[in-house]
Amino acid sequence: MKIRITNARILTMEEPIGIIRGELHVTDNRITYVGEILKESELIQDGKPVEFDRVIDAEGNLLMPGFKNAHTHSAMTFLRSYAEDLPLKEWLYEKVFPMEAKLTPQDIYDLSILGIMEYLTSGITANFDMYMSPEFAAKASVDCGFRTVICGSANDFGGTKESLRREYETLNNYHDLITYILGFHAEYTTSKELMTDIADLAKELRTPVYLHNSETKEEVEGCIERYGMTPTVFLDSIGMFDYGGGGFHCVHMSSEDLDVCRKRNLYVVTNPGSNTKLASGIAPISEMLERKIPVAIGTDGPASNNCLDMFREMFLVTGLQKLQNMDAQAVSAKEVLKMATVNGALAMGLTECDTLSVGKYADLIMIDLCQPNMQPMNNIEKNLVFSGSKQNVKMTMVNGKILYEDGRFYIGREPKEVYRKANEIIARMTGETREQ
């Protein structure tokens, strides 16, 4: 399969970040050309004109790397707008955990597909997913053609060193679209014994570890009571980050915590939508950037956010810093775009999905600039971050295949069928009806 996308603006996200006019070729699942528009006479291979299976005229619209959703729980779609207006701890223990106990693996498969559809509408081409029954989330992604990095989710309710090792081996050899990174839920839900086991496994496998870290003030205070240290410092003390990794949320981070991040090359995955909705606080992103700590962006799960929209997250990343620091210059649009694409990919170990460059995987999106919110074209990068919306996502391609284009999904199933199943699942659990 050979696709030519011509007459495009291209934001490759290679440094220095800027936009070129040109065209891009995809051969099977890789980018095989990015550059100036070619004349017919230049489209020759082995003495013959190159034949394309499809030629797309971008009409001046923008190609860029797909967004990487670097922290989410996709299957939590079933709880969207169900348990609301509660702080994290009550929300989690009283509303989320009891409902999650009723989920079947098939439910997780069906609900993950609903999440993937929403990612596609937001130009997200890969997710870093943490949830139960990860092999079913992985299967959902493969069946849709979507790219997923599964994050281990061990905690006191389930998961051992051995089960994590099995997942690591199985899911890293499952399919080209799936990889697996070691992880556990959080310090406050995991015994010291299990955390020590996980740290040992990480050292044995020489691999990074991710977890929910310092999401709420209460969580940090609890850890200090338990271990006399903040979560970041405590985890580092047991060797959890000897081979890197990172934290989701990282809202309440001390100066010492940030020193650990820098020393261990940890990624911070910020989740401003969720931290806003659950009133958890604002992460010190500006300070992290000053300290050269790489920041990526995640939506968190749809139960706490409640949407899977990278445009909202991008605005919030910079907007909340401006408010917090009382500084309208905090966190530039280019920095935000880098977080949402390159840094996300690198945090997830997707080193071949970070930029639009020859040889990289064709995980890319087309942004519709012919919309009022993108006009006039004073600065396309700023337009993307400060006024972009899902409505601007014209096409989402993962691994060389178009999965979403002009509002239609190409994921091998009917949207209405996916919605019907999601409504049935929550209806079954609550005993309430859900008319579609």
Site for its own copies in 59-98 (CB under 8 A): 60, 77-82, 84-88, 91
Q: How far is the CB of 267 from its own copies (least distance, A)?
A: 24
Interface residue with its own copies, options 22, 298, 301, 302 (CB under 8 A): 302
In the range 345-404, which residues lie near its own copies by CB under 8 A?
A: 370-373, 375-379, 382-383, 386-391, 393
Of 46-54, 64-72, 131-139, 326-334: span binding its own copies (CB under 8 A): 326-334
Binding mask 331-350 for its own copies (x = CB under 8 A): -xx-----------------
Look at residues 56, 131, 93, 51 and name the one whose alpha carbon lies nearest to residue 302: 131
In the range 267-286, which residues lie near its own copies by CB under 8 A?
A: 273, 275-279, 281-282
Strands 62-65 and 2-11: parallel
**What region, left, alpha or beta, does residue 46 occupy, with left being phi > 0 and alpha being psi -120 to 50 degrees?**
left
Greatest Cα pair distance in the chain: 72
- The terminus-to-terminus CA distance of the chain in angstroms comes to 38
Q: How far is the CB of 235 from its own copies (least distance, A)?
A: 26
Encoded amino acid at 122, one letter:
S
- State yes or no: residue 6 binds its own copies (CB under 8 A): no
Q: Which C-beta is closer to its own copies: that of 133 or that of 286?
A: 286
How many CB atoms are closer than 10 A to CB 154? 24
CA–CA dist 263, 236 (Å, integer)? 10
Strands 62-65 and 364-367: antiparallel
Of 31-39, 188-196, 318-326, 352-360: span binding its own copies (CB under 8 A): 318-326
Q: Which C-beta is closer to its own copies: that of 48 or that of 326?
A: 326
- State yes or no: residue 117 binds its own copies (CB under 8 A): yes
Q: How far is the CB of 378 from its own copies (least distance, A)?
A: 4
Q: How far is the CB of 82 from its own copies (least distance, A)?
A: 4
Q: How many residues bind its own copies (CB under 8 A)?
A: 77
**What region, left, alpha or beta, does residue 325 occupy, with left being phi > 0 and alpha being psi -120 to 50 degrees?**
alpha
Interface residue with its own copies, options 17, 43, 307, 346 (CB under 8 A): 307
Of 124-132, 171-179, 257-265, 311-319: span binding its own copies (CB under 8 A): 311-319
In the range 24-63, which residues lie near its own copies by CB under 8 A?
A: 60
Cross-strand partners of 259: none
Q: What is the 3-state secondary structure (H, E, C) of 122-134?
A: CCEEEEEECCCCH
CA–CA dist 128, 106 (Å, integer)? 20
Q: Which C-beta is closer to its own copies: that of 350 or that of 385?
A: 385
CA distances from 160 to 72, 78, 152, 183, 257 (A): 22, 27, 10, 11, 27
Encoded amino acid at 252, one letter:
H
- State yes or no: residue 322 binds its own copies (CB under 8 A): yes
